[in-house]
Amino acid sequence: MSRLNWRKSTFSEEASSCVYVAAARNGKIRLRESDDPHIVLTTTPAALRFLIRAAKAGDFDRLQEG
């Protein structure tokens, strides 16, 4: 994987539980957490926008373990 310019979420705490995003050259978006930075999720900008809109709308507020 080429060198990515990771940006930390402004909602992340300073010491831990940070979420990072980076734009890849192929137009995809990469996401990772500070807890395990070797695990990187890949998505499209459209799918990430959909996820953010759903989270802001509260669609995930009552998730339960399956």
In this prediction, residue 10 carries a pLDDT of 77
| Distance of alpha carbon 64 from alpha carbon 66, whole angstroms | 6
- How do residues 7-59 score in pLDDT, each as one tens digit? 987 777 666 678 899 999 899 999 998 888 899 999 999 999 999 999 999 99
| Distance of alpha carbon 47 from alpha carbon 43, whole angstroms | 6
| Distance of alpha carbon 17 from alpha carbon 34, whole angstroms | 6
